[in-house]
Amino acid sequence: MIHTYHSFSPLIFSLCLLKAIIQAHSQLLPGSCNFESDTCGYTSDADFTSWTLHKDGRFVNDEMRILVSPTLDQGEWSCLRLIYQIIGSGNLEVLQRTEGKSFDRPLWSGQVPSDSWVISSMDLPNSTEPYKVVIEGKPGQIPESSVVIFEIHVTPGYCLDCDFEESHLCGYSNQWNANVNWFVGGGGTQLFHNIPNDDTYNNKTGHLMYVDSVYTKTFKEVAKLVSPMTTVPLSGCLSFQYQRSKERGNMFSVFTRDRLGQYQELWRSASMFLPLQVVFEVAFNSPSGGRVAVDDISFSPQFCKPTFDLSIADCDFESGLCHYTQDQATGSSWKRVSVKPNIFRNGDHTTGAGSFLLAHSQPSPHSGYVSRLISPTLPGNMKYCLRFYFSLRGDALEVYLQPQQRSSSQEKIWTQGENTKEIWIASDITFQTSQPVLFVSNCRSVWDCGSVALDDISVSQGDCSLAPALPGHCDFEAGLCGYNQDKQGDDADWERRRGPTPTSYTGPRGDHTMGLGYYLHMEASAMLPGKSVRLLSRPLRASSGPQCLHFYYHMYGSGTGQLKVHLSKEGEDMLLWQRSGEQSVSWLRAKVEYQCDSQHKIGFEATRGLSVRSDIAIDDISLEAGPCQSNDSLSEHTSRILL
């Protein structure tokens, strides 16, 4: 819905958006620096080459270097704006480092070269723990490449907040159009006869953003004012003031735009994409279309809709059905089971030895014996990512949106009817609804009935394709994630593979992450007995508290050798965890809790057994701060090591 007003007075418009607490502040917080007189407490990481501070007040880097801020103890939400330049080629990354965590949390990265300085904005969420900002710069291979940092600004509030009084305009940018564009107005100067002379608070020296139709050449000329891309999930209400002249030849709209370029109009819907940009768009039909001005964009901590805990829609079925229910009207027969893995049936997906849901279909006079599993109701007008794991034998699995009234038709959003060859397959579905999700198992035909297995259902907000990467996690879908083959301490390399291994009766049928994705594996047939492959993490920082290493391993085959996890410190290896011999036909989960007071690496070493049926595989490695959470009901072992 587009609002047209016949007056030219300031108006306030509120929109539902992502989590936000914004106040208009101009003061700089600790962590800010222009590097003109000193480094403001920023230091080079002692484990890497130092940055070079030039006399003109800028940090320059011509090889891989890491710059670390002083400790910041800012409980409220703040915004970091980095003014930088990449010359030739290179990469610049900003991370957040919290004491006691070996991995830094990525905030932003960029690698696009430019002929002048560029501004990038990133949110620093409110935190009860002190932290440091880490800036990693790495020039590329092009001669004379360098990465330059000019200034760092840290201000209270969210990066989307802006009153347009600063020269950097809070990172907002005009998406260039040859004829109509957003400009800075106000400031006590009358630029054109039909442009407002002051900002929306009647501040004679204040500034605002405006767009005018005077240079419109074609039908529906469009001008777009684009915010910086948000770097964290947000929810709350977006507010801004705007002025709109009485001419009717313009349309003023506000959208969000995600990283895939998809738009969502906020004035008709409060649905969000994560991460997103806010786009203020004005379209003119003629040179007499008037003008539109925008100012004082801000957020309120008050939510437009009640908050909702999405975790109630997550379930791994280890302790029951969680908040899921069965449709008793159809005689639904999903059953929670735990099976001992064998060559005909995998264990559950969560641990390899836990529980999952299983539905057996039977012939019936109807279209097939149907089992229905119903999720909790999700709040409406939101975009969700649904992930689950399934395994089919003869049956079909379908996913619907359950209507509020039984008389209404169900909307099918996903279906699968192909046998999965006894492996767990991951599926991601992006949808938007206020209805429960319905999992339906049925026979593909009266002659073709079997079973459906279901496990590890999770729901998150936003588009599945935009799921953020977790620090310290590697599923090997896009490579080795910073892990490296140990060329000096092993006899061969781990192989990145998808699907089954070449040798029968050994190795996994598919990866743990997706079922159809990648994992790392040691191919025994290409090695001699007793030979090893070894994978090393990048250097990890010391930690004052416990760390928990999670990973999945697969050791199946009559000649299976040994899998070890080492901690490498100061040239010495210390054993953290090991398994020998055949373990299971399924992927099993391992947890290793350790504490180390100096820089170290984690190494995965697989040793070939006596026969070619000795393949070993690993997948889904993650490292988290804090102790490992044990579950005694699962047949997994948690090792605890203090070093």
Q: Taking the domains of the chain in order of start, what are their residue ranges?
A: 43-156, 169-300, 311-461, 473-625
Please list, in sequence order, all residues whose beta carbon lies within 8 angstroms of the beta carbon of residue 366, skipping any fewer than 6 positions away. none
Give the C-alpha separation, 334 to 338, whole Å: 13
What's the distance, CA 187 to chain centroid?
40
The CATH architecture annotation of domain 311-461 reads Sandwich (2.60)
- Is residue 550 a contact partner of residue 528, using CB atoms and an 8 Å limit? no
Give the C-alpha separation, 218 to 210, whole Å: 20
Q: How far is CA 616 from CA 364, 518, 532, 565, in A?
A: 44, 14, 11, 13
Residue 387, strand partner residues: 428, 458
Give the C-alpha separation, 295 to 209, whole Å: 6
pLDDT tens digits, one per residue of 471-512: 678 999 988 888 888 877 677 899 999 999 988 889 999 999
In this prediction, residues 247-264 reach a mean pLDDT of 80
Give me the pLDDT at residue 563, please.
96
- Is residue 65 a contact partner of residue 104, using CB atoms and an 8 Å limit? no
* Tokens representing residue 514 in the block: 């997706």
What's the one-letter identity of residue 208?
L
In this prediction, residues 594-607 reach a mean pLDDT of 90
* Tokens representing residue 472 in the block: 């310290």
Give the C-alpha separation, 444 to 255, whole Å: 43
Give me the pLDDT at residue 105, please.
84
Give the C-alpha separation, 487 to 508, whole Å: 25
- Is residue 211 a contact partner of residue 195, using CB atoms and an 8 Å limit? no
What's the distance, CA 291 to chain centroid?
39
Burial class from Cβ neighbours inside 10 Å (0-12, 13-18, 19+) for residue 56 reads exposed
What's the one-letter identity of residue 32?
S
Q: What is residue 466's DSSP assignment?
A: G
Of 482, 464, 465, give the one whose Cα is nearest residue 473. Answer: 482
Most confident of 337-341, 415-419, 586-590: 586-590
The domain made up of 473-625 has a fold known as: Jelly Rolls (2.60.120)
pLDDT tens digits, one per residue of 530-552: 999 999 998 888 877 888 999 99
Give the C-alpha separation, 256 to 273, whole Å: 7
Domains 43-156 and 311-461 share a fold: yes
Give me the pLDDT at residue 9, please.
34
DSSP per-residue letters across 607-641: E--SSS---EEEEEEEEEES-----TTSS--EEEE
Half-sphere exposure of 460 (CA within 13 A, CB side): 13
Task: Measure CA of the first residue to CA of the last residue in the chain; give whole Å.
Answer: 63
Q: In 99-235, at which residue ranges do the beta strands (DSSP E only) sit?
A: 105-110, 118-124, 131-139, 146-156, 173-175, 182-186, 207-212, 221-226
CATH code of domain 169-300 = 2.60.120.200
Predicted confidence band of residue 53 (pLDDT cuts 50, 70, 90): low
Most confident of 140-144, 460-464, 534-538, 624-628: 534-538
Q: Is the pLDDT of residue 21 over 70?
A: no
Buried b (16+ CB within 10 A) or exposed e, 386-398: bbbbbbbbbbbbb
* Tokens representing residue 75 in the block: 């409980």
In this prediction, residues 202-214 reach a mean pLDDT of 80
Angle at 49 (CA atoms; ends 43, 50), nearest 5 degrees: 35
Residue 551, strand partner residues: 590
What's the one-letter identity of residue 41?
G
User: How large is the C-alpha radius of gyration of the chain?
Assistant: 29
**Number of other residues whose CB lies within 10 A of the CB of residue 167:** 8
Residue 78, strand partner residues: 124, 156
Q: Is the pLDDT of residue 193 over 80?
A: no
Peptide bond into 275 cis (omega under 30): yes
Give the C-alpha separation, 182 to 191, whole Å: 13
- Is residue 637 a contact partner of residue 593, using CB atoms and an 8 Å limit? no
Residues in the chain: 643
* Consecutive H or E run containing 96: strand 90-98
What's the one-letter identity of residue 272?
M
DSSP per-residue letters across 350-386: SSSSS-EEEEE----SSS---EEEEPPPPPSS-EEEE
The CATH architecture annotation of domain 43-156 reads Sandwich (2.60)
Average pLDDT along the chain: 79
Give the C-alpha separation, 599 to 601, whole Å: 7
Give the C-alpha separation, 232 to 234, whole Å: 6
Any idea which residue has 């619907």 for tokens?
400
pTM, whole model, 2 decimals?
A: 0.67
Give me the pLDDT at residue 332, please.
67
Specify the higher pLDDT residue, 23 or 144.
144
Residue 123, strand partner residues: 79
Q: Is the pLDDT of residue 567 over 60?
A: yes
Any idea which residue has 């509120």 for tokens?
14
Residue 485, strand partner residues: 535
Q: How far is CA 530 from CA 92, 254, 642, in A?
A: 43, 64, 29
Most confident of 51-65, 157-171, 227-241, 568-582: 568-582
Any idea which residue has 């026979």 for tokens?
443
What are residue 166's phi and psi, to 5 degrees? Answer: -90, 155
Going across the sheet that includes 58-61, the strands are: 52-54, 58-61, 146-156, 78-87, 118-124
- Is residue 284 a contact partner of residue 212, using CB atoms and an 8 Å limit? no
pLDDT tens digits, one per residue of 414-462: 998 878 778 899 999 988 776 789 998 887 666 667 889 999 999 987 7
